[in-house]
Structure 1
């Protein structure tokens, strides 16, 4: 696993005890259903991983930035504050 993915996964998995792979997380952060199901791993990625590391992960995993932005916007509404990727 690349260092970017390892850093992201330790931030996302450790606090919540969620066992998710980097590939699974990449899929979830681009899926609007993640907000509908209040996916804690996606919210942790969007709220606890630094914006620079978020972008590196998105690039490394080949995820659509537009799709992640849509998910971040939906989570921002749920959270009541703007998340960095919701811009």
Structure 2
């Protein structure tokens, strides 16, 4: 069974957790929970958004996020540490080339380099 990040709604607060194959250690699972929690709090809180990990993953590969000036996606690319961005992308299993394309378009709009823009 492949590793995958899942999101569960607990009351009004979203909690991310990792469903893992038996070979993944509890320490790795805790790290992935921390990554998702940190990423989601960084992109959601300042903008009043309530995106799940899956929703954010879909948006960071969607070029429409650029034309919509999606603040949560821009926050992902500009405010989340590069190492956490990469860990989130890997955990969500999204295409790195698509992420780079969207990041590059946001960097062009912003006028400065973004880490995942290449």
Scaled by the length of structure 2, the TM-score of the pair is 0.72
Q: Which has the higher contact order (CA 8 A, sep 6+)?
A: 1
- The total of aligned residue pairs comes to 87
Misfit runs of 4+, over 3 Å: none
In the TM superposition, what whole-angstrom CA distance separates every residue of 1:35-84 from its partner, at most 9, and x where no partner exists? 01100010000000000000000000111110000000000111010101
Bigger proportion of residues as strand: 2
- The one-character-per-residue Cα deviations of 1:6-59 (angstroms, maximum 9, x if unpaired) are 110011111111111110000000111100110001000000000000000000
Q: TM-score, normalised by structure 1?
A: 0.97
1:56 — aligned with what? 87
SS at match of 1:69: helix
Cα root mean square deviation, aligned: 0.6
The answer to which structure has the higher helix fraction is 1
Q: 2: CA distance between counterparts of 1:46 and 1:86?
A: 9
Matches within 5 A, 1:1-87: 1=16, 2-87=33-118
How big is the shift at 1:4? 1.2
